[in-house]
Amino acid sequence: MGIVFTPPITSYGLLSFIIFQSIVLSQRFAEAFTQVEELYDNLEQKVKERTFDLEQVKTEIETLNHFTYLVNSKSSLNDIFFEISIFMYAKHSIKGMWLFLPDEKQEYLYAYKAHSYDKIPQEHYDYLMNRKIPFNENGGMIYLTYKRKKSLYLPKIKKIEFEIDKEFVKTLSVRSFLYVPLVSKDVCQGILAFSNLSSEMILKKSEVNSITNLCSQIAGVIETTHLLQQVNKAKKETERLNELNKLVNSTTDLERILRFVYKYIEINIGLEIFWLTLVDQKTNELYTYDAIAPTGIYEKWDLNFFYDFRERLDKDLGALYSTYTKQIPFYILDTRKFQIANKKRVFKNQYNEELYSTNKKDFKIWLKLNLRLLVQIPLLLHGQTIGILNLSSYQDNFPISKEEVQTIVRLCENITGAVQNSLLLQQTETERKKSEKLLLNILPQKVAEELKMKGKVQPILHEFVSVLFTDFKGFTKVAESMNVEDLVKELDESFYYFDDVITKYHLEKIKTIGDSYMCAGGLPERNNTHQIDICLAALEIQSTINQAKELKSMMGLPYWELRLGIHVGPVIAGVVGKNKFAYDIWGDTVNTASRMESSGEIGKINISGDMYEQVNHFFECEYRGKVKAKNKGEIDMYFLHRLKKKYSQDEAGRMSNEKFREIYEIIKNGGRIQST
């Protein structure tokens, strides 16, 4: 403490000594107080900094939650795309974005949509929208991102290995890019590409991670929305094909049928020039049968050549002959853009990527009819080409996709005659099954049928239903130690397994909320065994999760623990929502089942007294007494342990024996048993 010891001194000396000691102590205390104040100031500053950091994290989470909610509220993939582009520009100053999706046959990735806040040349946009990314090594870094399901960020492009990437960089003058896979259910659904094109795009590692996490959150929404759009598009197309089919079967007026087809193509695809050439089987010639174009276009045509067109079908006829013999659609985006090979002008057939060498007849036809975009569709009947429908547009740089060409092909198949009706019916049935399959993934079959027939579902009171809730205890804590992909993958695998189990026991999945899973038995179709079925399902789920826990614990891996709760009683069931409707149930039974889960213990199945009265004949249960439940007061609760030994085939009491199955069949068919 700074006290100085001295030998005995006089009273004056003592007084001086005391004063000296007081001064020393005062200085020491002053220094101590100064240090305390500095420590306090430092602590206060750190608290402020930490509070600021937390506020920033909170703000970012709220922003992401709001954005995710916004994306979920959109039913159009175009709307979702533009919301993402707006968010990325505002949040990360990213100006350009492209969405690549796989084609139906999983042969390549195509650009579904592209957007840039900086104006880009039309030829660059056309290149982006028409460049396909093959599903092999020739697909470059985009394909590798798709295959590996991991984001790829290059802040500065120095050395490039793949030719397609060199082509991208050279054509678009790209200096930086970020490719992010859209992964849902461990399957890559597409790629989001980000770039500032000719400007560098500098992102921190945290920003790349944030963008990747965001894309992971919305991947499922994009997948579902795209699927729904495809289903709706297929449905509308099927409806129009049905209309055309009825027209074909109800009239022999080919002109009326053709006008129907032309109008459909003009409205839905945008092409407005149609030239139908048919094959004269007797003379083996191709001749003009019909044509239509907007007012003013005819003035640019050599009408005499057009109406008098009749040419022999041989190789001198050029592209028309190639389409006739190969029976494959042929389309090029601009007849003015070509390559030179062996002193010939070479075009690429955008339908199958094959190169085609033109001849004099091609250029004569294109010049006489002033054609730029060219689409040729062979009309096939009994394996023979009976004609070719030629289509074009008066607009320069008109974009048309392979999928749109395929739509035209399907229309043409229906105007070749009634013989093609069987194919139409087959296609219609396929599309119907796709639509029904999607609907049955959302709704029970009976409910889906009611919705299709009436356009709505009447809410129904089910007086006797079993309801099961599950919840992973400590999910949040375990989630903190896992990356997002592993977390979502493991949760998806768990719920995938739950789906299989409840299907096995004829239960109905209602919904998942976070890490909670809800299912029910006895609806929408009433049955007599649902209370038994739901207990068997709960035992199977409990056993599997507990085994997984033991195995992971031995391996030193993080694991989840499960609580299960079951109650039985009346519920109201119905469909809610308009665009993204869902089957749901409501009532006090649902609330009580939830309380059974939350009032249970880890690794155990907690059932209500009402449920116990229904199943105690078959299952060993442990009375817990009256347990207080939130907003319910005290409720009789039991732990469901296993099947009784006399009904069990195994020591664990999970597998039923023949005696159980005999009694089960009696109950299933409406019989009763004596309680013991």
Highest mean pLDDT out of 303-312, 369-378, 608-617:
608-617
**Residue 396: is its pLDDT beyond 50?**
yes
pLDDT tens digit sequence for 474-518: 777 777 777 778 888 888 888 899 999 999 999 988 888 888 999
In the chain, the N- to C-terminal Cα span, in Å, equals 84
Helix axes 205-250, 77-92, angle to 10 degrees: 160
- Please count the CA atoms within 13 angstroms of the CA of 189 that sit on its side-chain side: 18
pLDDT at residue 568 in the model: 95
pLDDT digit string (tens) for 208-225?
Answer: 988 888 888 777 777 777
Give the pLDDT confidence score for residue 160 in this predicted structure. 84
- Phi first, then psi: what are they for 628, rounded to 5°? -75, 130
Provide Rg for the chain, Cα atoms: 36
Pairing of strands 355-357, 344-348: antiparallel
Rounded to whole angstroms, the Cα distance separating 1 from 10 reads: 24
Q: Does residue 627 contact residue 635 with C-beta atoms inside 8 Å? A: yes
DSSP string, 299-343: GGS-HHHHHT-EEESSGGGTHHHHHHHH---EEES-TT--EEETT
Q: If you search the block for the tokens 């007294």, which residue do you land on?
A: 609
Q: What does the pLDDT read at residue 618?
A: 93
Sign of CA pseudo-dihedral 637, 638, 640, 645: negative
- Averaged pLDDT score across all residues of the chain: 81
Tell me the C-alpha distance between 137 and 148, whole Å.
12
Distance CA 302, CA 309 (A): 11
Least confident range from 145-149, 151-155, 214-218, 393-397: namely: 393-397
Average pLDDT (603-622) is 93
Given pLDDT bands bounded at 50, 70 and 90, which one contains residue 1?
Answer: very low
Check residues 656 and 53 and name the one with the higher pLDDT. 656
For residues 161 and 138, the answer to whether their CB atoms sit within 8 Å is no
Mean pLDDT over 576-602 rounds to: 85
Cα separation, 451 vs 442, whole angstroms: 12
pLDDT score of 458 more than 50: yes
Give the C-alpha distances (Å, rounded to integers) separating 548 from 114, 494, 600, 639, 654. 45, 11, 20, 21, 16
At residue 290, the pLDDT reads 84
Q: What angle do CA 270, 273, 278 make, to 5 degrees?
A: 125
Q: Vertex 104, ends 150 and 149: CA angle to 5°?
A: 5
Q: What is the value of pTM for the model shown?
A: 0.41
Is the predicted pLDDT of residue 427 greater than 60, yes or no? no
Arithmetic mean of pLDDT, 153-175: 87
pLDDT-derived band at 41, boundaries 50, 70, 90: low
Q: Are 400 and 409 in contact (CB under 8 A)?
A: no
* Full strand arrangement of the beta sheet holding 339-341: 339-341, 344-348, 355-357
